[in-house]
A and B are shown apart, each in its own frame.
Chain A
Amino acid sequence: MSDGTLTPPVSERDHVAGPEDAPVTLVEYGDYECPYCGMAHPIVKRAQRELGEQLRFVFRHFPLAEAHRHAQLAAQAAEAAGAQGRFWEMHDMIFEHQDALEPEDIIGYAKSLGLDVAQLARDLEAGTYVKRVRDDFRSGVRSGVNGTPTFFVNGIRYDGSWANEQAFIGALRDAARQGVRAAVGSSSR
């Protein structure tokens, strides 16, 4: 069965926040309309604040579109914003307004972020990022994602609780220490 390894690994196609050489890479497979992902969002934010340069965060889409009818469009909107260099701003905006994800809401968020709204609307209408979102979803299936949110810490599925914020951040700090040690070990070889 799944060995819980991230497939494919983080690459330049991903949306990445944090330094490339950070000792910990946290990957989230998430659904913008999933209430648990909404709960996890501020916890990830806190982890990013507390670990600072120690943490690189990556978000991949895993919309359960049959269950959450706004999830697919929201994911595409984040991608469309990403094409304009503003992925994370839209990502935050969507998670902070999970109860208002109709197309007109999304357009409103694009406006308030100062995006090229006409371009974003065209992208959504044309389905420009449908394949990109689907590719993320497929990579999640291959990596052993079985629900949302699913986290990977340094490429290995994190099966502990994320809802326990202290435990989650503690696990990331442990991974940071091990990551630093691994890096030191490999450079001294």
Chain B
Amino acid sequence: MSESDFDRLAPNILPAGVPAPDFALNATPDQVLRLSELRGRPVILVFYPADWSPVCGDQVALYNEILPEFREYGAEILGISVDGVWCHAAFARDRKLHFPLLADFEPKGAVARAYGAYRQEDGTSERALFVLDREGIIRWSYCSPIAVNPGADGILSALESITGKSAPARTESFENAAEARP
């Protein structure tokens, strides 16, 4: 499927400019995280279909490695799937994850539905990314083909535009490379 085909068939996830629906989900068996508590900081919402499936594993592993970059923008990142808290706990421990995984478990997929990111036919969420600004407005959203790890460059570009900070990699580390360009 080409990218344009996919765009045409893409589900209607909430677009940029829309206030992000608030939610309260369990991050651990006894801790609830409410989105609105994170006001004042950019927030990255990562909806993914399921713990343990190979592509998600790669995707969360990648974001786990990029946490220092996300934090340079003062951003929080939250993973969300329909898996339960105990499943998330085991998955996070196995992959040594350092960001919260939220259980969109009961009523199942309610938050994914609110963001237009629920896959009725599979009973899971889409592989959808949302970047919220400090006021809780969606500033960028993207739905990836279900089998494709969307990477992180789109998230970083969105954070860059929200915070007005340019990417550290471009400003600091590659001055020489930039000069070397014709």
* B-binding residues in A (CB < 8 A): 1-2, 8-9, 11-13, 64-67, 131, 134-135, 137-139, 141-147
Contacts and interface: CB of A to CB of B under 8 A. Distances in A.
Contacts of B110: none
B-side interface size class: 20 to 34
B62 A147 contact: yes
Most A CB contacts (10 A, CB to CB) among B144, B170, B174 go to: B174
A143 B176 contact: no
Contacts of A64: 61-62, 65
Contact of A147 (B58, B64, B156, B176): B58
B177 A8 contact: yes
Interface of B: 58-59, 61-62, 64-66, 69, 95-98, 142, 144, 149-154, 156, 167-170, 173-174, 176-178, 180-181
B151 A11 contact: no
A65 B149 contact: no
B180 A144 contact: no
B154 A12 contact: no
A138 B168 CA distance: 9
Contacts of B96: 66-67
B59 A11 contact: no
A36 B104 CA distance: 33
Contacts of A142: 153, 156, 167, 169-170
A7 to B, nearest CB: 8
A65 B96 CA distance: 10
Contact of B154 (A2, A65, A67, A147): A2
A58 B152 CA distance: 22
